[in-house]
Chains A and B, each alone.
Chain A
């Protein structure tokens, strides 16, 4: 007689300890996320390999539109310049440009990416502490907005202006004592009078013309008051340089730093309660700037340079369990095939981990290890997860910022990136191959005696 068999889950026994005894007390990691942006997670991995980065195009566009609406409805003509460093995949930049974003770049390499994507110079903001003479010459010629970071750079810019035989508009990056630690590395300090001196120095040189002010208060700044203080600081500073030096600004730039919906490792509360909305940021900034020393028609253009707030959420990582083990002391360790080399923000973020398959309701405190041969490769010190077997999948959402641009190639090849748009999958970056990784290398003949001897 054939009886209907029961569905099977791996047998588990979990010892009760403080915190584990509240079955409602934990994130719903056990609600399996079998589909991602409408596609079966397993099938995506079968097709494109694991680990795998997955971009939701719709979410990316939505974030851009939300932010643009929040600022442009409060400050007429506000513009978003996407901070390339956060993730400069060509496809990601292109999508944001198609929505209307300008490019914010901090190196010649990034500048080149933007130009290559047909961004005209006047839609590029060139920031950063180190720009070469050639890069500056190119940027000035293209009509890009160059924000000067330090005195040495003033000097180089003037030399470039001399060579090109023209006077160029420039922006000045300033910093203020707003947060901890203050970002004193970049630009000229306002409180100490350095910013005023710099503007004065540029104007008196007669070769450049100060037309912009730039500030970037930090990254993952979830206190909107800091933006309000920065905005007020810009207004005050503009008032001074306008009255005393006759400066008339064309633009001011509030930089990036807007928090995304990830919780920091050391945070006391989940980001859900602490991460401000775009509307809250805009409300903290725009009304203050609009009280600046100008008539409405002469309001400087406002730029924002968001990075993580736009691209963190839209990208997820799929990773595969390679092993589960018991550590001395009884705690469970799970090793997955993605390491911190492709998820470097684990240093900052307490990423969520979702199971893909239904693994039952028994949860256990788990150390989630990355797959690198390095003891420091830990993705989560304490994830609460159901039993997992080799081959099972996990989804780590909201990882789009910095993890790709800061990834490093180490012992494994880096994974592919796919974009899902309107129910269609596009491969936007193939996974690396050994040939690609070694493409720039060469072995002088003299070193090669072993392989030549063993060829035949």
Chain B
């Protein structure tokens, strides 16, 4: 059956969004049967101009514009392109998609994302509580709600430690001066609460997972990032065979009853050898295309799940597969930019 799939997160500049990787998975091993519709937030979202990947591109409102405007725009695009499934890939979109999921469903558009009460449990300020109550190992964490608590918390955790904003940004602190400096910086930007976390002498691993509506793990690709950009994003990585990573991920998703894709970030404490959960990103990672090499096409699996198919667990990912991120320049005529700017959409001829 040919399905029309819409995907967000098309901007791949210095901090690539996952949408393009998802699309490339769909085109693997051969070109996707239905239409691929790119949903972009800016005329210069780079992926729009990767001609072979998309059939159509549309601009959509930012989620903060309001769910009504967001839904209306998707309705319009649906009328043009008959969308079967949407795969959102950005953290900032999750709430709006959770909110409009019922309306999308009644329009005949499927999504496969976890509900809000589940994603709330893994928010930065709630995660420690979740780990505590479900007996999941995690680095010692204190959530700071009042500047007055800072000193005692630092004393309790000790150096080095990580200081994290509620939504974004994290810094390593080695001294009280560092703590004060970053505390002020994060407070201005993101306010409180703030998260203090012990920085373990550790190795970092990521597992891209997909689980079904009971939270049962169906596919997972564990990796080690072998090279990072100065922003800490993966630029090279290798897939692993590691039962402990798999086991911990499986346990976490089952406890959460997670349904959908996610990226689980895990640290292995060099001293104790223990695996600790540090974060769960409620979406595919930007390196998701690597999953095709490991014989686990997780985006295709999510589409099956969205279409309510029964999906059985995949064989373990193939280990020893690598990826290197490679930036390239795309060339296009001014017409493309004009179309998107003036009409908010772009249609590639090849798809007609």
Contacts and interface: CB of A to CB of B under 8 A. Distances in A.
Physical contact A–B (CB less than 8 Å): yes
Interface string B134-172: 000000000001110000000000000000000100000
A16 B65 contact: no
B191 A25 contact: no
A182 interface: yes
Contacts of A180: 145-147, 192-193
A24 B145 contact: no
Interface stretch (A86-94, A241-249, A264-272, A365-373): A264-272
B324 interface: no
B96 A22 contact: no
B62 interface: yes
Contact of B95 (A18, A19, A25, A269): A269
Contacts of B59: 22-25
B105 interface: no
Quick one: which of A19, A23, A178, A181 has the most chain B CB within 10 A?
Answer: A23
Interface in B168-203: 190-193
A27 interface: yes
Nearest to B144: A180
A263 B64 CA distance: 10
Interface in A260-314: 263, 266, 268-270, 272-273
Contacts of A22: 40-43, 59, 61-62, 344
A270 B190 CA distance: 15
A24 B60 contact: yes
Quick one: which of B64, B69, B99 has the most chain A CB within 10 A?
Answer: B64
Given A268-B190, A273-B96, A25 B65 contact: yes
B119 to A, nearest CB: 12
A21 B64 contact: no
Contacts of A23: 59, 341-342, 344
B42 A21 contact: yes
Contacts of A179: 145
A24 B42 CA distance: 10
Nearest to B96: A273
B66 interface: yes
Contacts of A182: 145-146
A23 B66 CA distance: 15
Contacts of B92: 269
Interface string A173-207: 00001111110000000000000000000000000
Main secondary structure of the interface of A (DSSP, over half): loop
A181 B344 contact: no
Interface string A7-24: 000000000101101111
Interface in A227-247: none
Given A22-B42, A25-B65, A16 B341 contact: yes
Contacts of A273: 63, 67, 95-96, 99
B340 to A, nearest CB: 8
Contact of B65 (A21, A27, A181): A27
Contact of A24 (B73, B146, B193): B73
B44 interface: yes
A26 interface: yes
A91 to B, nearest CB: 31
Interface in A397-450: none
B61 A26 contact: yes
Contacts of A177: 145-146
A21 B96 CA distance: 22
Interface of A: 16, 18-19, 21-28, 177-182, 263, 266, 268-270, 272-273
15 contacts: A18-B42, A21-B43, A22-B40, A23-B344, A24-B59, A24-B344, A25-B61, A28-B69, A178-B145, A263-B64, A268-B167, A269-B63, A269-B92, A270-B63, A273-B96
